[in-house]
A and B are shown apart, each in its own frame.
Chain A
Amino acid sequence: MKIVIVGAGMVGYSLAEYFSGLNHNITVIEKDKARCEKISSKLDVFVVEGIGSSPTVLDEADIKSADLVIAVTPSDETNLLVCNFAMQNGVEKRIARVKSSLYTQDTPNVSLEKLGVTSVIEPEREVMQRILQYIELPDVIETANFQSNNIYLRGYHITKEMPIVNKTLAEIHQIADPAQILFLVIVRSGKSIPPTGDQTLLPGDKIIAIMPKKSFKTFCTLIGYKTSRMKKIVVSGDTLTAIHLAKALQPLCEQVILTDPDLEHGRIAASTLNGVEVFHVDSTKSDMLEEMNIKHADCFIAVGQHAEDNTMSCLLAKVEGADMVIALRDDKHYDKLFASLGMDHIIYPQEITLNAIIEKIHMVSIGTHLKLKSADIEIMRISIKKNSPVTGKSLRELDKVFKKSITIGCIIKDNTVIIPQGDTIIKENDKVLVLSQKDNISLVNKVFKPEDLIRSQPA
């Protein structure tokens, strides 16, 4: 498949890296010379230097032959224009990143689709959804839903209070039907352990499980999760995301407070938000956090413009007594350090955007794709074709091929979800969720030969 990526920032670069790794034909358009040189020296991609919204530059990138265009320049308008030109050039799929929510609110007469965008990626919305998931399920470390919310993937920290602590998986499966809930992996002190029956769950472990929607309740009782509503949430930041987040949090929480280091922006926030108290506060100062009565806060979320301020204010809030702190950051440099200092969650908008784009592409052509952050595991959705090597085989037979590094999470047959057992046989037209160690994607390709996953020539 030929993919044109416009804009080689952090997201564009990662996309190029990812797709060229899957042996696709990649062309990158970037206006910055230094970036062009960096990318052509590191990746096996064709680089065109120029402005992506110019039709001649697009011609140079041979856009007519492309199957997919991804526009991820910093400018929303450029991204939209690229999609429009791509449409005029007959490109089938056109993805644009649109940061501003001004453009994504459709009215009956106008829509981005008419402009030529087949999928819109809204980083802000993705970030907010991730944060909201954390708020709804406070102990969760991993959440993802597949198959239009019919399959749940959840990861949890095992704490002393959970009913399943110090039990073996075999014991747990006596309470919960293994056909209902599949434990994918146990992560103990940073290492993943395969979930065999004799493994005991210790406090501090992380457990990741996949289940159909109907079993989620059973799962909740297993881990003793209560849908406790938060009472007080403090959102900090001088961004639109902060305003939108505060608004979205209102129905989930009794008291939402927004702190804004910028007085003018705070005024705008106060005038648009109803029922949210807005304070002109620099939340990197601990006396000001005290004034907000931060020790009674159930959650502190920093989504300001400056990553350092976000992290520092979160760490301060944690020290002052906030129960859970979430910070927005754009680099992963000190990931482990922050975790050891008590940071509960760090949100990387670019990573989320990247995942969202990959997910969007796979949904349209290849299948759902997800990287777990607590373990080096990737999840893919693969449709089984007639001539696939696995068709007609039982899982027990396949286990030898998989070498314990590939797991079939579940099988989707005509919209029903099955947790596979040893004697389950994979048939044509099934869709399977495949979990694989990160370095084993080539094995997945070898075993399943999903022609739509790799349509390009073999490397």
Chain B
Amino acid sequence: MNKSFIIYSIGKLLEILALTLFIPAAIAFAEIPEKVFPAVLLNINLIGFIIAIISSLICGNFLKLIGSKELTGTGIREGFAIVTFGWIILTIFGAIPLFVYFLSQAETVTASMTIRAFTDSYFEIMSGFTTTGATIITDVEILPRGILFWRSMTHWLGGMGIVTLAIAILPAFGIASYQMFRGEVPGPTSERLEPRLAQTAKILWWVYALLTLVEVILLNLGGMSLFDAFCHAFGTMATGGFSTKNTSIGAYNSAYIDWVIIVFMFFAGMNFIIHYQVLFARKWTLLKTNKEFHFYTAVLLIAILLAALVLHTRGIAPEAQINSSFRSEPLSANMLTKKIAEEETKISTFPSTLRYTAFQVVSITTTTGYTTADSDIWPNFIRFMLVVLMFFGGCAGSTGGGIKMTRIMVGIKTAWREVKTIIQPRLIAPIKIAGKELKEKQVANIVGFIALFLGCFVLFSAIMSFLINDFTTAVTSVVATMCNIGPGLSGVGASENYAWIPISGKWVLSLCMLLGRLEIYTVLIALSPISWKK
């Protein structure tokens, strides 16, 4: 392992982070009513960003100084280590503005309060970069705009990958860049569109930016303010889920906005290679031949119809179920009846039911995590179905999390093949996707990933059950963070948040988010002793 190259590369990543921090800083600056220089620089909303920019620039340059550009060897270990440690360190620096804000809000600064503020801001920014969208902020609407924008922007940066961005704009990583790209881009396939990786990374970022811009315009046309449109477009395209409203997208109560976001969540969950091929190379046939896309669409359509039918015929859950569900703070009887009445009006007609179920299903499956209705008081069948869909996630090469559609397909096919070969031992049955054979090595990688993913899920669920009193909450908080979704069930349900989770629990969940976003293998490779052996 070439440590000095890793240090140098992380230094470079920090510089890029500093550059991106100028944007929310500018917004924070614009929000300040009286711009008297130099007092304005000490404005409580701006100072956090200034500290973050300066510290990451200094640290970045320092790391570059002590590190070395030279890399010998394959770069496999280094690439995965750069991605893993890069993400952990970038999150620390990205969390500084929020940390400063939390401290400024406190009446007295104590040690335990500082730890709590640091945990919260780290959790929040990790949730942002990993496009999870799980928040510890109970009232987001009182946050300054700079902070709000930075939260959503971390989604956007993390969605396509900040390392991928670095490869696109700084072609200096050399041989390690392919490993870095592989380590960060979700899904088992990281195809190249161009012979040069930097070119591929650039194309992916352009497509991503273009789709985001189109969504901003469409949302703006639907009556959303430009600021909110940007924040929500960032959240959608990155399949993140941070909103500028306490009730998420539900706050707008607009069918138009709902459908625009449904469509763009759907786009974000697709392989971005498809977007590129359709938009720029006009290869429409790809939509016909890409089996993962078919599977993804079929899963969504079936889930939406099933949920809509169940919800339409059964109505929302019986009161006993709602009352037995765990909440961080129990609802008063009055609030509950009001809430039930509110949710019942949303599903009064079938088209309206379809709109709300489509939104929740697409939001959960693509691992976005926006909500327009409190799906936690829907019938248990739908709640369970949503938890299952959390594992599915988006397609390979999308910004979504979860296990990914391709892997699920390969998993199902492999299981079926085992059944067939037990009956017919001499059958030669390679696993194929769209008629193309997968090498046994790839199949093993995918099946191993699914096993590892479920193994991590079990392990962290056990830890969370230890830390949290409610079982449903403990288990679904792990699913919701490992699959980078955000809302889970009960205590972390659609109308709840993660603020009440104990500090230890927040660190466990932060690790879950990182594992989920970097797809476990990257983190394991970086941490495994084999990588560090001399």
Q: Are B430 and A270 in contact (CB under 8 A)?
A: yes
Residues of A within 8 A of B435 (CB): 274
Closest-by-CB residue of A relative to B429 is: A270
Interface check B427, CB cutoff 8 A: yes
Q: Are A271 and B430 in contact (CB under 8 A)?
A: yes
CB distance from A267 to the nearest CB of B (A): 6
Q: How far is the CA of A263 from the CA of B429 in the complex (A)?
A: 12
Known: A271-B437, A291-B424. A277 touches B430 (CB 8 A): no
Interface check A377, CB cutoff 8 A: no
Interface check A13, CB cutoff 8 A: no
C-beta contact mask, A368-382 vs B, less than 8 Å → 1, else 0?
000000000000000
Q: Are B426 and A267 in contact (CB under 8 A)?
A: no
Interface check A441, CB cutoff 8 A: no
Q: How far is the CA of A271 from the CA of B427 in the complex (A)?
A: 13
Q: How far is the CA of A333 from the CA of B388 in the complex (A)?
A: 66
CB distance from A328 to the nearest CB of B (A): 22
Residues of A within 8 A of B437 (CB): 270-271
Interface check A134, CB cutoff 8 A: no
Q: Are B432 and A278 in contact (CB under 8 A)?
A: no
Q: How far is the CA of A267 from the CA of B428 in the complex (A)?
A: 7
Q: How far is the CA of A32 from the CA of B429 in the complex (A)?
A: 44
Q: How far is the CA of A291 from the CA of B437 in the complex (A)?
A: 26
Q: Are A278 and B424 in contact (CB under 8 A)?
A: no
CB distance from B419 to the nearest CB of A (A): 14
Residue of A274, A278, A288, A291 near B428 (CB, 8 A) is A278
Interface check A345, CB cutoff 8 A: no
Q: How far is the CA of A266 from the CA of B430 in the complex (A)?
A: 10
CB distance from A283 to the nearest CB of B (A): 11
Residue of B424, B430, B432 near A279 (CB, 8 A) is B424
Q: How far is the CA of A280 from the CA of B428 in the complex (A)?
A: 6
Closest-by-CB residue of B relative to A281 is: B426
C-beta contact mask, B409-428 vs A, less than 8 Å → 1, else 0?
00000000000000010111
Residue of A269, A279, A288 near B427 (CB, 8 A) is A279
Q: How far is the CA of A266 from the CA of B437 in the complex (A)?
A: 13
Residues of B within 8 A of A298 (CB): none
CB distance from B302 to the nearest CB of A (A): 24
Residues of B within 8 A of A270 (CB): 428-430, 437
Q: Are A280 and B429 in contact (CB under 8 A)?
A: no
Interface check A238, CB cutoff 8 A: no
Residues of B within 8 A of A279 (CB): 424, 426-428
Residues of B within 8 A of A291 (CB): 424, 426
- Total count of chain A residues near the partner, CB < 8 A: 15
Residues of B within 8 A of A267 (CB): 428, 430
Interface check A260, CB cutoff 8 A: yes
Q: Are B430 and A288 in contact (CB under 8 A)?
A: no
CB distance from A92 to the nearest CB of B (A): 44
Q: Are B430 and A280 in contact (CB under 8 A)?
A: no
Residues of A within 8 A of B429 (CB): 270, 277-278
Q: Which of A258-277 contact B (CB under 8 A)?
A: 260, 263, 266-267, 269-271, 274, 277
Residues of B within 8 A of A277 (CB): 427, 429
Q: How far is the CA of A351 from the CA of B240 in the complex (A)?
A: 69
Closest-by-CB residue of A relative to B439 is: A271
CB distance from A258 to the nearest CB of B (A): 9
Residues of A within 8 A of B432 (CB): 271, 274
Q: How far is the CA of A274 from the CA of B435 in the complex (A)?
A: 6
Q: How far is the CA of A288 from the CA of B427 in the complex (A)?
A: 12
Q: Which of A121-166 contact B (CB under 8 A)?
A: none
Closest-by-CB residue of B relative to A270 is: B428
Residues of B within 8 A of A278 (CB): 427-429
Q: Which of B73-130 contact A (CB under 8 A)?
A: none
Q: Which of A279-301 contact B (CB under 8 A)?
A: 279-281, 288, 291
CB distance from A310 to the nearest CB of B (A): 19
Q: How far is the CA of A266 from the CA of B427 in the complex (A)?
A: 10
Q: How far is the CA of A189 from the CA of B428 in the complex (A)?
A: 45
Q: How far is the CA of A178 from the CA of B472 in the complex (A)?
A: 85
Q: How far is the CA of A260 from the CA of B432 in the complex (A)?
A: 19
Q: Are A263 and B424 in contact (CB under 8 A)?
A: no
Q: Are B424 and A266 in contact (CB under 8 A)?
A: no
Closest-by-CB residue of B relative to A260 is: B428
Closest-by-CB residue of B relative to A293 is: B424
Residues of A within 8 A of B427 (CB): 277-280
Residues of B within 8 A of A280 (CB): 426-428
Residues of B within 8 A of A266 (CB): 428
Q: How far is the CA of A98 from the CA of B207 in the complex (A)?
A: 48
C-beta contact mask, A159-198 vs B, less than 8 Å → 1, else 0?
0000000000000000000000000000000000000000
Closest-by-CB residue of B relative to A259 is: B426
Q: How far is the CA of A279 from the CA of B429 in the complex (A)?
A: 8
Q: How far is the CA of A271 from the CA of B426 in the complex (A)?
A: 16
Closest-by-CB residue of A relative to B436 is: A271
CB distance from B14 to the nearest CB of A (A): 46
C-beta contact mask, A104-134 vs B, less than 8 Å → 1, else 0?
0000000000000000000000000000000
C-beta contact mask, A234-278 vs B, less than 8 Å → 1, else 0?
000000000000000000000000001001001101110010011
Q: How far is the CA of A291 from the CA of B421 in the complex (A)?
A: 12
CB distance from A175 to the nearest CB of B (A): 50
Q: Which of A260, A263, A274, A288 has the most CB of B within 10 A?
A: A274
Q: How far is the CA of A249 from the CA of B429 in the complex (A)?
A: 19
Q: How far is the CA of A270 from the CA of B427 in the complex (A)?
A: 10
CB distance from B301 to the nearest CB of A (A): 25
Q: Which of B424-449 contact A (CB under 8 A)?
A: 424, 426-430, 432, 435, 437
Residues of B within 8 A of A288 (CB): 426
Q: How far is the CA of A271 from the CA of B431 in the complex (A)?
A: 9
Q: How far is the CA of A422 from the CA of B435 in the complex (A)?
A: 60
Q: How far is the CA of A271 from the CA of B434 in the complex (A)?
A: 11
Q: How far is the CA of A291 from the CA of B143 in the complex (A)?
A: 71
Closest-by-CB residue of A relative to B432 is: A274
Q: Which of B424, B426, B432, B437 has the most CB of A within 10 A?
A: B426
Closest-by-CB residue of A relative to B435 is: A274
C-beta contact mask, A384-414 vs B, less than 8 Å → 1, else 0?
0000000000000000000000000000000
Q: How far is the CA of A67 from the CA of B428 in the complex (A)?
A: 51
Closest-by-CB residue of B relative to A279 is: B426
Q: How far is the CA of A281 from the CA of B427 in the complex (A)?
A: 8
Residues of B within 8 A of A263 (CB): 428
Closest-by-CB residue of A relative to B420 is: A277
Q: How far is the CA of A271 from the CA of B439 in the complex (A)?
A: 10
Residues of B within 8 A of A274 (CB): 432, 435
Q: How far is the CA of A266 from the CA of B426 in the complex (A)?
A: 11
Residues of B within 8 A of A269 (CB): 428
Q: How far is the CA of A288 from the CA of B424 in the complex (A)?
A: 11
Residues of A within 8 A of B430 (CB): 267, 270-271
CB distance from A269 to the nearest CB of B (A): 8
Closest-by-CB residue of A relative to B427 is: A279
CB distance from B392 to the nearest CB of A (A): 25
CB distance from A281 to the nearest CB of B (A): 5
Q: Which of B426, B428, B435 has the most CB of A within 10 A?
A: B428
Q: How far is the CA of A267 from the CA of B429 in the complex (A)?
A: 8
Closest-by-CB residue of B relative to A277 is: B427
Closest-by-CB residue of B relative to A274 is: B435
CB distance from B286 to the nearest CB of A (A): 18
Q: How far is the CA of A281 from the CA of B425 in the complex (A)?
A: 10
Q: How far is the CA of A270 from the CA of B432 in the complex (A)?
A: 10
Closest-by-CB residue of B relative to A265 is: B428
25 A–B contact pairs at CB < 8 A?
A260-B428, A263-B428, A266-B428, A267-B428, A267-B430, A269-B428, A270-B428, A270-B429, A270-B430, A271-B430, A271-B432, A271-B437, A274-B432, A277-B427, A277-B429, A278-B427, A278-B429, A279-B424, A279-B426, A279-B427, A279-B428, A280-B426, A280-B427, A288-B426, A291-B424
In the complex, besides A260-B428, A271-B432, A274-B435, 6 extra interface pairs with C-beta distance below 8 angstroms are A269-B428, A270-B437, A277-B429, A278-B427, A278-B428, A279-B428
Q: Which residues of B contact A (CB under 8 A)?
A: 424, 426-430, 432, 435, 437
Lowest 7 A-B CB distances belong to which pairs?
A271-B437, A270-B428, A278-B428, A266-B428, A279-B426, A274-B435, A280-B426
